[in-house]
Amino acid sequence: MKKKIKVAESDFLPEMLPKNRKEVFFDCLKMRYPVFLWAGIVLFLFSLPVCLLLLFRDFQIYGLYASFQSGGINENELSVAITSYRVSFTLAQIIALPIFGLGLAGVIKVLRRLIWGEGIFYSADFKDGIKENGLRYVILFALAGVIISLCVFIETYMSDAGNPVRYILFAILIILLLPAMLYMLSLTAIYNIKAWGCIKNSFILYVKTFPVTVLFALILAAVYFGLLFIPNLTVKYILTPILIVFALPLFITAWLLYSCRIFDKFINKEHHPEYYNKGIGGI
């Protein structure tokens, strides 16, 4: 028996394509979800060094607590050992995060083609993405590792209540640098731009779009630090891969689409008409 071919009742017309970036996001989610899944799996693979570090740190700390409860070490020794593990983990992240950055450099090229409605060639696009964005992403993620380390140092060594320096430093790191870094990621992914221009434009765009950009940065920071400090290890190790595989590609795509909207408004219309509204209304 012949299998009946599923067909739409009427032609698919250009008017039925997404009309703005928000619609593009939901359209991609509905029509090309496997791309997100692929991106999530690749990101998870490249995040394994960070995840393994986290796992190692948690098991060490768990062992220390067990030793403390059985009377093997005293409270002071426990505190010193935990601090030492936290600092070591944080410093090791400066090496592990750029590996994740390298994976993201490839994945972002695939996601860029996705939101522009272009055909996807997973391995070729991934390799191209690493070639085009790799170095800059590695530097950015090393920098992110340094920032996170600073946060941990501040948390560890300035934890006396009411210390205003602690909050000021946190604010600078989370509210000033992280959002600008998000712009650096999307500017690098889309334009062939020099380092200084990228840094300058990132801060300018951040200032112009302050509330939404901060919201994106806060979501990212909250999820990252939230995961680090979840007390229940089972929940943590179930939640981490789920978030990386299923939620992170969506977050990156949402950010890329939001950036494109901002670039359309401030850059593309005048300087890069070829990118203006690209991906809206098909090729």
Partner 1 sequence: MPDITVENLTVNYVSNKKSVTLALDNVSVKFYSNKINVIAGSSGCGKTTLLKTIAGLIKESSGNIYFDNVNARQLTIQERNLSYVSQNYVLFPHKTIYDNIAFPLKIMGAPREEVDARVIEIAKSLDLTACLTRKPKHISGGQQQRAALARALVKRPSACLMDEPLSNLDPELRGEARKLIKSVFDKCGMTVIYVTHDFREALALADNLIIMDGGQVAVSGNPAAVYASDNAVVHGLIEGSKADFSEFAKKTDYEEKN
Q: How far is the CB of 6 from partner 1 (least distance, A)?
A: 4
Q: How far is the CB of 125 from partner 1 (least distance, A)?
A: 8
Nearer to partner 1, 57 or 109 (CB): 109
Residue that the structure tokens 């490839």 belong to: 106
Task: In whole angstroms, give the CA distance from residue 177 to residue 184.
Answer: 10
Task: In whole angstroms, give the CA distance from residue 129 to residue 251.
Answer: 18
What distances in angstroms separate CA 188 from CA 8, 14, 111, 170, 173, one per listed residue? 40, 30, 13, 26, 21
Contacts to partner 1 by CB under 8 A: 2-3, 5-14, 16-17, 27, 31-32, 34, 117-121, 124-125, 282-283
Contact residues for 182 (Cβ-Cβ < 8 A; gap 6+): 213, 216, 217, 220, 255, 259
* Chain length of the chain: 283
Q: How far is the CB of 262 from partner 1 (least distance, A)?
A: 23
Nearer to partner 1, 32 or 272 (CB): 32
Nearer to partner 1, 9 or 160 (CB): 9
Q: How far is the CB of 116 from partner 1 (least distance, A)?
A: 10
Nearer to partner 1, 116 or 170 (CB): 116
Q: How far is the CB of 106 from partner 1 (least distance, A)?
A: 14
CA angle, 9 as apex, 3 and 11 as ends, to 5°? 110
Nearer to partner 1, 7 or 165 (CB): 7
Q: How far is the CB of 2 from partner 1 (least distance, A)?
A: 7
CB-facing half-sphere around the CA of 230: CA atoms within 13 A: 16
Contact residues for 120 (Cβ-Cβ < 8 A; gap 6+): 32, 35, 110, 113, 114
Q: Helix or strand or coil: residue 95?
A: helix
Nearer to partner 1, 34 or 211 (CB): 34
Identify whether the C-beta of residue 115 lies closer than 8 Å to the C-beta of residue 29. Answer: no
Q: How far is the CB of 10 from partner 1 (least distance, A)?
A: 6
Q: Which residue from 7, 23, 2 is spatially nearest to 282, judged by alpha carbons?
A: 23
Task: In whole angstroms, give the CA distance from residue 222 to residue 236.
Answer: 14
Task: In whole angstroms, give the CA distance from residue 180 to residue 159.
Answer: 27
Nearer to partner 1, 5 or 161 (CB): 5
